[in-house]
A and B are shown apart, each in its own frame.
Chain A
Amino acid sequence: MAYSFPEEVLEHVFSFLSSERDRNAVSLVCKSWYDIDRWSRRRVFIGNCYAVSPGTVVRRFPEVRSIEIKGKPHFADFNLVPEGWGGFVLPWIAAMAGSYPWLEEIRLKRMVVTDHCLELISKSFKNFKVLVLNSCEGFSTDGLAAIASNCRNLRELDLRESEVDDLSGHWLSHFPDTYTSLVSLNISCLASEVSISALERLVGRCPNLRSLRLNRAVPLDRLAGLLRRAPQLVELGTGTYTAELRPDVLSSLSGAFSGLKELRSLSGFWDVVPAYLPAAYSVCSGITSLNLSYATIQNPDLTKLVSQCPNLQQLWVLDYIEDSGLEALAASCKDLQELRVFPSEPFVAEANVALTEQGLVSVSEGCPKLHSVLYFCRQMTNAALISIAQNRPNFTRFRLCIIEPRSPDYLTLQPLDVGFGAIVEHCKGLRRLSLAGLLTDRVFELIGTHAKKLEMLSVAFAGDSDLGLHHVLSGCESLRKLEIMDCPFGDKALLSNVEKLETMRSLWMSTCSVSFGACRLLGRKMQRLNVEVIDESGDRPETRPDNCLVEKLYVYRSVAGPRLDKPNYVWSMEEESPELIRS
């Protein structure tokens, strides 16, 4: 006898599954579960906008309220992907405008969003609430004006790290006086000035505002006024933190800060005048997240500020913190979970600050909950890496960048294979890893052997031969994203692991040793892989002999077939017809 729950019960049970992967798994159990999931799915995550067509998504999940889509490959952040490559969100918006009148949330990352898209969003979804544009581009403040004008129920507008064509700050004034539902606003990436009085009125009439990230143009002497209108703030990003030192401004600011009883996250701090830092001391004891990565504060002011935050869980900071500051951090912030140290002068070969591997070792010793690290430095040793690995087997994300490529262990002059080997061996839950320094095939062997939970690996200037790549592709069972630049990896490794590529979201290889022939083979053989070669020379793909090396290769699994919006310098290796004329 078939034993089954009524649909409504199953649907109710499924509603407790918050993870995308769990819902995907559920949909594979049987046809009826697939259908129930299909009709009850409210949230969809598209990791690669070209993996599936908008039409397919909209047809399968008719009742979606929230969508998250990612576009360009990660290395686009570092200018490796030329302009016009793709990641256009318009087809998605157009499809959803037709099928999801009740859509509430759109979260995009590395996508091209035009003003037209923003207008369409603002007019198509009556209950639109959340717009997060992370590292997006292609729109101007005119588009923002449309959002402000038309989205009556908007809760969240977050433009983090997007590139906006900043025509003026007037768009902010497009929020009508009747609009009071703002909860979160992040305009930190905008250059132009917004009207502070308009901002004050907006902040003043939105009682639920909990997150306010201002842009650099907001002057320090207007900050207090804003803070007084929003004492309930949980997250604050200041504007510029510089002004002539005036006691009245300082005391006003101090007073305003002390009113922020709920504040947990602080950021901004561009152009810091250290004398104004004490104004923020009153909130430090409650701060769990601190982003000083644009702040030009140095020691001792920097260390003093950080040490006042005993409940700190997340710290982003420049290398001005130095080893001494990190030692102090290790002593005072026992709850620290995530640390990112950015370089203040990345284009200078020599160290301008006293930040070495020792800083990271200190933190790994002193902070038992530390599990996520991004660390830019100029020197490293295997001994330090081994120490770190032994101290903190709970790492889930470990990203190291040694400014000078191919830097060996500076004491022994050996490659850093053993050090990173220790990381993958001890940190069994490691999900993300970025390698650095001088590395041979050996490190990849170790990674393939031990890094079974690794999902994303970033490699640059490493390895000796195809064997390196082969170790990774054949050994890392959980690998989803692999991005490689300037490594001697080529055809053999790629063609020996073609099935693996279908289990991954994407593979990026630039300035490696992959040939056109291999790409053609891969493209023709694997129907569910899109094999795209980026070649900016202006030639036609047919002119390239098989043994010619490709500049950049991007391979990703897709059920949508080769994309139709490629610029003329992106060639699909599945389709090589001579009659395709590129203008």
Chain B
Amino acid sequence: MGRASGVDEDPASLNLRETELRLGLPGSQSHDRSKPTLAGVSIFGKDLEFSLSPSKNSAAPVSGAKRGFSDAINGGKGVGGLFSPRSGESSVNAHQSAASNSKPLSKEGFGASPQTKTLQEKKSQAEAPATKAQVVGWPPIRSFRKNTMATNLAKNNDDTETKSEHGCLYIKVSLDGAPYLRKVDLKTYSNYAELSRALEKMFSCFTIGQCAANGLSGQDGLTENCLKDILHGSEYVLTYEDKDGDWMLVGDVPWEMFTDSCRRLRIMKSSEAIGLAPRAMEKCKSRD
């Protein structure tokens, strides 16, 4: 099964991805208001932009003209939409930055040029087929339908590499002790590092609470360190339930195999995760 967001990118276009998925808080200095599907936003006002490494296992798109339409949605970033390059502008983007700069809302015309267009964006407009970055909520199709169609297409196209149309793959993520679940779209990440960072952000609001409970201040900087300590200081590990219903440690198998078999994720306390790793390795071996 090919990867949904795999695309040919040269290292110079690293920033294409970055601009597409970079988070911008309303009112923050960042001009980009687009956000990746479901990843948390910055912590305490800091714009933590995760840099996305170019996909190493990118699949070649079938048609050279195939483009991620979400570029248009993301406002000025990346390749323009189907119909014409200038639809890459985002009126909302212009408004967001205008508003945050206390300017009157400008009348957005067809082809109006927002002040947010950067060199990166212009450059990426010249790029060939862009990534299909998923925009939350668009197109307006329900998850059940998306997931069902994705399975249909996967079955029909087993031998082709291009899976850019396979929508998203929402899976539940739970954190032990958190009051509710989150969902992530695995197809928006291309490797474990990205996923891990996204999850860190997503659950930061819970673990920050833990910091506070531990008597640490909830101010900037301290919290960030505290968070990293919690996640990296082996208090929590990331595990997943695979198709067979077994719980495995995340990171033991190649990324594609992981996205193929992962049914749900669970961030569990390290103390509970003992004994998972060996099984994962055995399983991996038995598959091969």
Could you tell me which A residues sit within 8 Å of B by CB distance?
75, 77-80, 82-84, 135, 161, 163, 189, 270-271, 293-294, 296, 342-350, 352, 376, 378, 401, 403-408, 410, 413, 415, 434, 438, 458, 460-461, 464-466, 485-488, 490, 510-513, 515, 536-539, 543-545, 547-551, 567-569, 583
Does A464 lie within 8 Å of B136, measured CB to CB?
no
Does B41 lie within 8 Å of A79, measured CB to CB?
no
Residues of B within 8 A of A345 (CB): 149, 153, 165
Does B67 lie within 8 Å of A78, measured CB to CB?
no
Whole-angstrom CA separation of A545 from B67 in the bound complex: 38
Does A350 lie within 8 Å of B66, measured CB to CB?
yes
Does A161 lie within 8 Å of B181, measured CB to CB?
no
Does B67 lie within 8 Å of A511, measured CB to CB?
no
The residues in B between 90 and 136 inclusive whose CB is less than 8 angstroms from any CB of A are 91-92, 94-96, 99-100, 102, 105, 107-110, 132, 134, 136
A–B Cβ pairs within 8 angstroms, 28 of them: A75-B137, A79-B136, A79-B137, A270-B148, A342-B141, A343-B141, A345-B165, A346-B165, A347-B4, A347-B165, A349-B69, A404-B83, A405-B72, A406-B72, A406-B87, A413-B83, A415-B110, A461-B92, A464-B108, A486-B92, A511-B33, A511-B92, A538-B205, A543-B45, A549-B27, A549-B99, A551-B26, A567-B179
Flag whether B2 is at the interface (Cβ < 8 A).
Answer: no
15 new A-B contacts, CB < 8 A, other than A342-B141, A404-B82, A538-B40, are: A79-B37, A83-B180, A347-B166, A349-B82, A460-B137, A464-B109, A466-B105, A490-B95, A513-B92, A537-B41, A538-B208, A543-B45, A545-B27, A547-B99, A549-B96
Does B145 lie within 8 Å of A342, measured CB to CB?
yes
> B26's contact among A548, A568, A569, by CB below 8 Å, is which?
A548
Does B99 lie within 8 Å of A567, measured CB to CB?
no
Flag whether B54 is at the interface (Cβ < 8 A).
Answer: no
Does A163 lie within 8 Å of B182, measured CB to CB?
no
Does B145 lie within 8 Å of A293, measured CB to CB?
yes
Does B204 lie within 8 Å of A538, measured CB to CB?
yes
Residues of B within 8 A of A270 (CB): 148, 152
The residues in B between 144 and 174 inclusive whose CB is less than 8 angstroms from any CB of A are 144-146, 148-149, 152-153, 155-156, 164-167, 170, 172
Does A548 lie within 8 Å of B27, measured CB to CB?
yes
Select the residue from A83, A490, A537, A544 with max chain B CB neighbours within 10 A: A537
The total number of A-B Cβ pairs within 8 Å is 196
- The smallest beta-carbon distance between B148 and chain A, in angstroms, is 6
Select the residue from B45, B180, B183 with max chain A CB neighbours within 10 A: B180
With A347-B165, A405-B73 in contact, is A510–B137 under 8 Å at CB? yes
Residues of B within 8 A of A569 (CB): 205
Residues of B within 8 A of A490 (CB): 95, 99, 105
Whole-angstrom CA separation of A487 from B138 in the bound complex: 14
The residues in B between 44 and 81 inclusive whose CB is less than 8 angstroms from any CB of A are 44-45, 63, 65-69, 72-73, 81
Does A408 lie within 8 Å of B83, measured CB to CB?
yes
- The smallest beta-carbon distance between A356 and chain B, in angstroms, is 14
Give chain B's interface secondary structure class.
loop
> B92's contact among A77, A346, A487, A548, by CB below 8 Å, is which?
A487
Flag whether B140 is at the interface (Cβ < 8 A).
Answer: yes
Whole-angstrom CA separation of A568 from B155 in the bound complex: 40
> A485's contact among B65, B137, B165, B172, by CB below 8 Å, is which?
B137
> A567's contact among B26, B134, B165, B180, by CB below 8 Å, is which?
B180
Residue on A nearest B67 in the bound complex, by CB: A349
Does A344 lie within 8 Å of B149, measured CB to CB?
yes
Residues of B within 8 A of A296 (CB): 152, 156
Residues of B within 8 A of A550 (CB): 26
- The smallest beta-carbon distance between A268 and chain B, in angstroms, is 12
Whole-angstrom CA separation of A539 from B94 in the bound complex: 24
Residue on A nearest B148 in the bound complex, by CB: A294
Residues of B within 8 A of A583 (CB): 209, 212-213
Residues of A within 8 A of B96 (CB): 513, 549
Does A403 lie within 8 Å of B137, measured CB to CB?
no
Residue on A nearest B142 in the bound complex, by CB: A77
Flag whether B11 is at the interface (Cβ < 8 A).
Answer: no
Residue on A nearest B109 in the bound complex, by CB: A464
With A296-B152, A347-B167 in contact, is A537–B40 under 8 Å at CB? yes
Does A407 lie within 8 Å of B92, measured CB to CB?
no
- The smallest beta-carbon distance between A32 and chain B, in angstroms, is 46
Residue on A nearest B139 in the bound complex, by CB: A346
Per-residue 0/1 for B182-221: is the Cβ within 8 Å of any A Cβ (1 yes, 0 no)?
Answer: 1100000000000000000000110011001100000000
Flag whether B280 is at the interface (Cβ < 8 A).
Answer: no
Flag whether B277 is at the interface (Cβ < 8 A).
Answer: no
Closest 6 CB pairs of A and B: A84-B180, A548-B27, A549-B26, A537-B41, A583-B209, A348-B165
Flag whether B253 is at the interface (Cβ < 8 A).
Answer: no
With A460-B138, A548-B100 in contact, is A568–B167 under 8 Å at CB? no
Residues of B within 8 A of A406 (CB): 72, 81, 87
